Structure 1
């Protein structure tokens, strides 16, 4: 492993721990959260930098797209493991062990693409992955809240 890959893996671990701690803690549900968008932008910049120095093949791009699609599907499922409740006028959200397990499974499937694509692509695109799936989960949670799927 080179220095960049090691750095990306450390960043991945830090972001995963941070995301899981936020997912498993009861917190207000915000209609829009900038975190996902920030991760998408940073991840897109990293991915573009990688693709500039190592052009991606059609297979590489297809596998990355497939990983993102699977991640979005898992995010939609994961959103249904999150408990929504009301505290006063505030919609609260809190994930559970199934939420955490689906985060880890999604990240695992994303890193599996490294077995079939250009070296290090999974690690380079992980922040993009986190951002895309976080935005997808947020959309499903917001739709659930608007639809009245709140625990009493």
Structure 2
């Protein structure tokens, strides 16, 4: 029999490995990236299915929102651990070991909500979480590049 929670955790682990490999590899900084939006949509659909079967309490919703807020704050901090440079007229970005550590810390704080909310809600909402914090980090990185005068070269 399929275990949706185990499936979500396996998918979350794969997404985390994929995100970390992309974060730690030097790549061009794009102003817009569809990855965060795709993760939000998939995560919202999964969360919607879950909530249909297991209605959330006000407290559950508040704790998920608090986890997202903490994740966005960590994403903003994490964005300042990413190195920005210019190569051949393109803005390049590359995360550091601290970037990776902050990703893991953020994911850990998100899964902490499972200790206080409806069963496995952290696992169910993890893709939504990844999408939100990825977009937040991207916004801060693009703003950092603009403030540093790296855009428009």
Question: What TM bracket, shorter-length normalisation?
Answer: over 0.9
Unaligned 5+ residue runs, structure 1?
none
Q: Distance in 2 between matches of 1:97 and 1:78?
A: 11
Aligned to 1:123: 123
Q: Distance in 1 between matches of 2:65 and 2:55?
A: 16
Root mean square deviation of aligned Cα: 1.0
Q: Deviations over 1:87-146 (max 9, x none)?
A: 021000000000000000000000000000000100000000000000000000000011
Aligned to 2:99: 99
**Could you state the TM-score of these two structures normalised by the residue count of structure 1?**
0.96
For the 8 Å contact 1:74–1:102, the answer to whether it is kept is: yes
Aligned to 1:14: 14
After TM superposition, the runs of 4+ consecutive aligned structure 1 residues lying more than 6 A away are: none
For the 8 Å contact 1:84–1:149, the answer to whether it is kept is: no
How many angstroms does 1:148 deviate by? Answer: 1.4
Residues paired across the two proteins, number = 149
SS in 2 for 1:91: strand
How many angstroms does 1:149 deviate by? Answer: 6.4
Q: Deviations over 1:55-113 (max 9, x none)?
A: 00000000000000000000000000000000021000000000000000000000000
Q: Distance in 1 between matches of 2:108 and 2:148?
A: 32
Q: Deviations over 1:8-46 (max 9, x none)?
A: 110010000000000000000000000000000000010
Aligned to 1:134: 134
Aligned to 1:23: 23
Unaligned 5+ residue runs, structure 2?
none
Q: Distance in 2 between matches of 1:101 and 1:138?
A: 17
